[in-house]
Amino acid sequence: MSLSNTPAPPDHGTGPDGPPAAFAEPTRMVKPRWVTGLVLVNVGINCAFFGPINIFIGQQAISIDEPSKEAVLSLATACGAAVSLVANPLFGALSDRTTSGFGRRAPWVLAGAVLAAIALLAMSGATTVALMVAFWCVVQLGANAAYAAITAAVPDRVPVLQRGKVGGLAAMGQTLGILTGAVFGAVVSGNFMVGYWLCAAALLLSVIPYLIHRDDPVLRKGALPRFPLVAFLRGFWISPRLYPDFAWAGLTRFLVNVGNQLTIVYLLFFLRDVLKHEDPAAGVLVLTGIYALMVMITAVVAGPWSDRVGRRKPFVIGSSAIIALAGLILAFFPVWPGALAGAAVLGVGFGAYVAVDYALLTQVLPVALDRGKDMGIINVANSLPQVVAPALALAAVTSWGGYRSLFLAAAVIGLLGAVFVVMIKGVR
C-alpha cells in the first residue's frame, strides 16, 4: 500500500494484459502499519528459533544427558536445520501459487505460526533426546513456512528504493526476537519448560497485526496454468550459469551465516565452561542485549543509507569483514570483557549486513513469478549453516583445540563471504 491515499487496485488476480498483477514489480511505498506487522512477525519467528537454539535446547540437553550436552545440542539443531532446508523453499513455492481469498502469503504465516507454537508446547514436555529432536523438527517446519511467506512478501509489496529501509527494520525485528528469547531465558531461571511456552505465545501474538493489515494480493484460481509435479520439483534448481548473481548472493550469505552461527552456537557452554560465568543464561542475555542494540542501530542506519546512495556491495563487504573481526576478538580474548567487545562488534557488522544484503538479494531474484520459491532457496543460506555450523563447532571444540579454534574458523569463513560479494555484477 502507498503512503498516499491512492486506493489499491481492486483486482489483484490478473493484470490488464493477462499476467497476474500479483507478480508485478511494486512501485508504491508501503505504509508504516504494514511494515510494523512485518517487523513483529520477524520478532516472533526469531524468538521461536533462537530462544530454543541459544538457551532452552542447551538447558534441556543438560537435563537429559549432561555429559553429552554438546552432541545433543548439535544433533537437535542440525536435524531442525535439515528440515528447514526443505521447508523454506517448498512453502515459498506453494505460497507463490496459493489462490486463497486471504492472499498468497498470509495463510502460510498463520498456519506456520500455529504449527510451530503447538510443537514448542509439545517440546516442553519431551524427556528423551528423540522426542526433543522430533518436536524441534516440527517447530522448524512450521516456523519456516511462516518465514518463507513473510520473506516473499517484501519483494511482492516493497519497491526497490524502499527495500534497504524495510530490510533494516526487518533486521531489527529479527534481533528483537533473538533478544526476547534471551530475556525469556533469564526470566525463567533455567526452567526451559516455561521458556518454550513463552516462545510459543510470543510467536502467536506476533502474527496478528500483520494478518489484520496484510494487504496480500490475491491470486485468482486459474490465473496460472497447472503443471506436473516433476516440473514443480525441477523449478527448485536455478542454474548458476544463467543466474550467476543469484548464485553468488546465496553463497556469500551462506558463508557469512556459517561464521555468525559458529560464533553463537555454543555461547551458553562457552560462558559456562570457559569463562566460568556464575549465571550463563544471564550472561547470554547481557551479550545478546549488547549485540541486539548494535544490530538495531546499524541496521536502521545502513539500510536507508544504501537506498540513498544506490549501492549495496560496499556495505555488504565491509559488514562481513566486521563480523569476522568479532570472531578474532573472542578467539584471542577469552575473558568476560572480550566477550562483551565481541558481542558489540558482531552486532555492528551483522546489523549492517542483514539490512543491506536483504535488499541486495531481492534485486537478484530470477523471475517475479517465483519470488516465494526463490527467496526460500536463498533462505537455505540461513538454514544450512545451522546444519554445518554445529558439526564444525563440535569438531572444533572436541578435536581441533577448543573454543579458540572455533572462533578462528568463524572469522575465516565469514571473511570469505566478504570476498565473494565482489563477484555479483548486476547490483552496485
SS3 of the chain: the string is: CCCCCCCCCCCCCCCCCCCCHHHCCCCCCCCHHHHHHHHHHHHHHHHHHHHHHHHHHHHHHHHHHHHHHHHHHHHHHHHHHHHHHHHHHHHHHHHHCCCCCCCCCHHHHHHHHHHHHHHHHHHCCCCCHHHHHHHHHHHHHHHHHHHHHHHHHHHHHCCHHHHHHHHHHHHHHHHHHHHHHHHHHHHHCCCHHHHHHHHHHHHHHHCHHHHHCCCCCCCCCCCCCCCCHHHHHHCCCCCCCCCHHHHHHHHHHHHHHHHHHHHHCCHHHHHHHHCCCCCHHHHHHHHHHHHHHHHHHHHHHHHHHHHHHCCCHHHHHHHHHHHHHHHHHHHHCCCHHHHHHHHHHHHHHHHHHHHHHHHHHHCCCCCHHHHHHHHHHHHHHHHHHHHHHHHHHHHHHHCCCCHHHHHHHHHHHHHHHHHHHHHCCCCC
Q: Report whether pLDDT(53) > 80.
A: yes
> Residue 133 has what pLDDT?
96
Confidence grade of residue 10 (pLDDT, cut at 50, 70, 90): very low
Residue 70 placed within a domain: yes
- Identify whether 14 is part of a domain: no
Banded pLDDT at 209 (limits 50, 70, 90): very high
Lowest average pLDDT, out of 55-59, 223-227, 249-253, goes to 223-227
231 in any annotated domain: no
Provide mean pLDDT across the span 286-311.
86
Q: Is 28 exposed, middle or buried (0-12, 13-18, 19+ CB in 10 A)?
A: middle
Is 428:310 a contact under the CB 8 Å cutoff?
A: yes
pLDDT of residue 378: 77
Least confident of 32-41, 131-140, 346-355, 365-374: 365-374
**Per-residue model confidence (pLDDT) at position 22:** 64
Residue 117: pLDDT band (50, 70, 90) is very high
**10 Å Cβ neighbour count for 269?**
19
Sign of CA dihedral 274, 278, 281, 286: negative
Q: Look up the domain containing 178 and give its range.
A: 26-221+236-423
Instruction: Confirm if 126 and 132 have CB atoms less than 8 A apart.
Output: yes
Read off the pLDDT of each residue in 91-118 and give the average, rounded to a whole number. 92
User: What mean pLDDT is predicted for residues 259-272?
Assistant: 83
Over residues 150-179, mean pLDDT: 87
Would 339 be classed as within a structural domain?
A: yes
Q: Which amino acid is at 374?
A: D
pLDDT of residue 257: 85
Cβ 373 vs Cβ 235: under 8 Å = yes
Q: Answer yes or no: is pLDDT of 1 > 60.
A: no
Q: pLDDT confidence of 368, banded at 50, 70, 90?
A: low
- Confidence bin at 4 (pLDDT 50/70/90): very low
Task: With a cut of 50, say whether residue 374 has pLDDT above it.
Answer: yes
Q: Is residue 415 part of a domain?
A: yes
Number of domains in the chain: 1
Does 246 fall in a domain?
A: yes
Which of 12-21, 130-139, 253-262 shows the lowest mean pLDDT across its residues? 12-21
For residue 229, name the pLDDT band (cuts at 50, 70, 90): low
**Would the pLDDT of 121 be above 90?**
yes
Average pLDDT of span 187-209: 94
pLDDT the model gives residue 21: 59
Q: Which of 115-119, 165-169, 346-350, 367-371 has the lowest mean pLDDT?
A: 367-371
Q: What's the confidence (pLDDT) of residue 42?
A: 95
Across 126-143, average pLDDT: 96
% of the chain at pLDDT higher than 70: 92
Average pLDDT over residues 405-419: 87
The predicted-structure confidence for 182-196, as pLDDT tens digits, reads as follows 889 888 878 999 999
191 in any annotated domain: yes
Q: What is the CA radius of gyration of the chain?
A: 21
Mean pLDDT of 200-221: 90
Q: What percent of the chain has pLDDT over 90?
A: 31
Question: Mean pLDDT across the stretch 403-425?
Answer: 86
Contact 262, 406 (CB under 8 A): yes
Give the per-residue pLDDT at 2.
Answer: 31
Confidence band (pLDDT; 50, 70, 90) for 15? very low
Amino acid at the residue 272:
R
Per-residue model confidence (pLDDT) at position 9: 35
Question: Does residue 106 lie in a domain region?
Answer: yes
**Cα pseudo-dihedral 175, 262, 283, 401, rounded to 10:** -170
Give Cα separations from 373 to 102, 151, 220 (angstroms). 19, 10, 19
What span, in angstroms and rounded, lies between the C-alpha atoms of 347 and 181? Answer: 16
Cα(114)–Cα(137) distance, integer angstroms:
14
pLDDT of residue 191: 92
pLDDT tier at 20, thresholds 50, 70, 90: low
CB distance 80 to 144 below 8 Å: no
Mean per-residue pLDDT, 82-102: 88
How many other CB atoms are there within 10 angstroms of residue 205's CB atom?
Answer: 14
Q: How far is CA 72 from CA 88, 193, 398, in A?
A: 24, 17, 14
Mean pLDDT of all residues in the chain? Answer: 84
Q: Which CATH number covers residue 359?
A: 1.20.1250.20
